Amino acid sequence: MNRLPARAGAAGLVGLTAVFFLLPIAYLVSVSFKTKDDVLTGSFLPHGPTLANWPGAFSAAPLVGFIGNSVLVATLSALVTVALTLPAAYAMIRLKVAEGWLPQATLASYMAPPVVALLPLFFLLKFTGLLNSQLGLALVYAFGNVPVAFWLLAPFLRRVPLEIEQAAAIDGAGPVRTLVSVVAPMVAPGIAATAIICGVLAYNEFLLASAFTLSGETRTLPVGLSLFQGDRLVNFGQIAAASLAAIAPVYLIALFMQRFLVEGLAHGGVK
Amino acid sequence: MSAVAEAAPSGVQSIGQLAGGGTDRLLRFLWVAPLVFALVVTTLYPTVFLIALSLSKSTLGKPFSAFVGLAQILRVLGDPQFQLALARSVLFAVVVSALQLVLGFAIALLFSRLLKAGRFLVSLVLLPLMTPPVAVGVAWKLILAPAGGLLNGVLADLGLTDAPLSFLATPFLAWVSLILADVWQWTPFVVILCFAALTTIPESVNEAAAIDGASRWQRLRHVTLPLVAAPLSAIFLLKMIIAFKLFDLVYVLTFGGPGFATTTAGFSIWRMALERFDVGGAAAQTLVFSIVIGLVTLPVVRFNKAMEARER
């Protein structure tokens, strides 16, 4: 009957969706190869592409240093977040510690926008001497992402068969041993997904980074990128190249870890 | 391994019991202590600190120099600019969350019919979600630019416009632009969650309905939707919470303008604190904003609880 038109219609819709989600990135790539005059034409593809914007962007701002700071802060914060959250989530689910209020407390904490913590954490970092340091920013993210990690990890831990843990207990393993050598390896994909998502959140964060890092040595990539904008001589080609440099690390992770990430998000979001 | 598992005494509910249920409370609390510490630093301490800041005179260099009582909170509550900013934040959160839920669910439905290709497409939409919001802002700024923007180029080529449109300099179009960029970034999140919810529906349920002669629309309305209603309400709640965090896109795309047209509560607080250095005023605004978020999301939380209770 009308199967073929329906299929063609579905394919068309899928194509439209894919174009919408790929277009901005594709345009960034195109603009990064455009000359200053070419940018003003508003055409999709560059006329007479140039490579000059890429070295130009890297010499206009210390992008390599920004990338280094971002990766350092993201990695450190993700590791600390998982280390803080895994034992707590495990204890809540299996040892029934604080199961009454812990989920509510983490949700309430997640509901507050980061701008709420802006001033209090600014003064706290200043007081502890951690203002304008990578360590200070990493700790802010590590603590701030705990609710996200909690909600992502919990479903993975819930699905570990109780029998396996009971067996470990009978073999004489205490809860700490059980978590470290039995449960953690079993939920390794969940831990990896959680760590990556928290790391990406930290890598992408702008508001707190812009307030807590005050010099070129500590600034992260989103902050560095925003500074490009403030320049009076706006060079769209260089901004596009710098943006792509900022995007590249997360897209590489997405490419290799997509399975984990989709699964991690899917389980965490819908119980 | 399985032999050992079978030998486990029946009736044991948790490892806690095996480890000796009477372990003292302090030792048990140690398990969650690091997480609780993180929550104290990021949530409890800021709340107490903000209340103190809003009741006193402060600068970034020297907080709490004098007690001023409720003066700052009353000033903020009576400020028509801030009232408008609050209204904008609430409206934005409701509009984008609803829009993204409908769009994301539709795309997930579309993808779920495609089996293998669907899984690939779900991985593809991961990209916008992972893009740094500042870079999202830059990309859309390039597309929307009056001189050399892709959209203006396309509109001119099609003969739809005579002169380039300044999308980000017109209040209404600036909002449309912000919503467009936010839809680009966050709809994929809804797609991934909806896709997961849809895959929990057994194929046989849909087949049975089809055999009973239910049309595609009837199946969606009476079979699929009721089965995913609870996750959908949870996704909507999550999306609203995220929408209230909007900041980066405003900063990059409009900087709150033209005039104050796209100044949301979050952006207003940031300007007050870091541009005008009015720490007390910013703290008072933050408190009011938090309360508004709580009040607006409360009905959604209630609705979500009711949906989940219905499921059991």
Q: What 3-state DSSP class applies to A229?
A: helix
CB contact under 8 A, A270 and B135: no
A-chain residues within 8 Å CB-CB of B282?
A: 118-119
Closest CB to B45 among A84, A120, A239: A120
A227-271, pLDDT tens digit by residue?
877 655 568 888 899 999 999 999 998 888 888 888 888 876 544
Which range of A5-19, A24-38, A47-61, B112-126 scores highest in mean pLDDT? It is A24-38
Task: Note the pLDDT of residue A170.
Answer: 85
| Contact flag B135-A164 (C-beta cutoff 8 Å) | no
Q: Among residues 181-240 of chain B, which lie with CB inside 8 Å of chain A? A: 184, 188-189, 192-193, 195-197, 200, 231, 234-235, 238
Nearest CA in chain B to A164: B5
pLDDT of residue B92: 96
Q: Which two tokens stand for residue A146?
A: 């705990």
Mean pLDDT by 10 residues, chain B (312 residues): 38 46 74 94 94 87 82 91 96 96 94 80 88 93 86 85 85 94 95 88 81 83 87 92 94 90 94 88 93 93 86 70
Tokens 């449109």: give the residue.
B165
Prediction ipTM score? 0.90
Q: In whole angstroms, how far apart are CA B218 and each of B205, B206, B212, B230?
A: 13, 11, 11, 19
What pLDDT, on a 0 to 100 scale, did the predictor assign at position A231?
57
A142 and B38: CB-CB below 8 Å? yes
B135/A246 CB distance under 8 A: yes
pLDDT of B216: 81
Q: What percent of chain A has pLDDT over 90?
A: 46
Both tokens of residue B252? 């990059």
* Mean residue pLDDT across chain A: 88
Q: What is the DSSP string of A21-68?
A: HHHHHHHHHHHHT--HHHHTT--SSPSS--STHHHHHHHHS-HHHHHH
With an 8 Å Cβ cutoff, is B245 touching chain A?
A: yes
∠A108-A112-A115 over CA atoms, to 5°?
160
Instruction: Provide mean pLDDT across the span A33-45.
Output: 82
Domain residue spans of chain A: 1-50, 61-269
Is some CB atom of chain A closer than 8 A to the CB atom of B92?
no
Select from A107, A30, A54 the least CA-distant residue to A241.
Answer: A54
What class, spelled out in words, does domain B70-311 have in CATH? mainly alpha
Q: What is the pLDDT of residue A232?
A: 52
Q: How many CA atoms lie within 13 A of A178 on its CB side?
A: 26
CB A264 within 8 A of CB A86: no
Among the partner residues A42, A211, A250, nearest to B130 by beta-carbon distance? A250
Predicted confidence (pLDDT) per residue in A175-203, tens digit: 888 888 888 998 998 999 999 999 999 99
Q: Which pLDDT belongs to residue A158?
A: 87
Report the C-alpha gap between A186 and A24 in whole angstroms: 39
CB–CB of B148 and A42 under 8 A?
yes
Tokens of B258: 């033209």
Q: Which of A171, A210, A270 to mutate to test the interface with B (most CBs of B within 10 A)?
A: A270
The domain spans of chain B are 1-54, 70-311
Rounded CA-CA distance B1/A233 in Å is: 68
Of the ranges A10-24, A72-86, B123-137, which is most confident? A72-86
Residue A14 has, within 13 A of its CA and on its CB side, a CA count of 20
DSSP state of B41: I
The answer to whether the Cα torsion of B132, B133, B136, B137 is positive or negative is negative
In B, which residues are within 8 Å of A226 by CB distance?
A: 134, 251-252
CB A31 within 8 A of CB A236: yes
| Helix (H/G/I), strand (E/B), else coil: A214 | coil
A133: left (phi over 0), alpha (psi -120 to 50) or beta: beta
Chain B contacts in chain A segment 104-133 (CB below 8 A):
105-106, 108-124
C-alpha to C-alpha distance for B19 and B15, rounded to whole angstroms: 6
| Count of pairs with CB atoms under 8 A, one residue in A, one in B | 301
The second-level CATH assignment, the architecture, of A61-269 is Orthogonal Bundle (1.10)
For A131-168, the pLDDT digits (tens) are 999 999 999 999 999 999 999 998 889 888 888 888 88
Candidates A95, A150, A239; nearest CB to B28: A95
Q: In chain B, which residues have their Cβ closer than 8 Å to the Cβ of A118?
A: 269-270, 273, 282, 286
Cβ atoms of B219 and B132 within 8 Å: the answer is no
A40 touches chain B (CB under 8 A): yes
Between CA A240 and CA A39 the distance in angstroms is 11
Model pLDDT, residue B173: 93
Which tens digit of pLDDT belongs to each residue from A104-126? Answer: 899 889 988 999 999 999 999 99
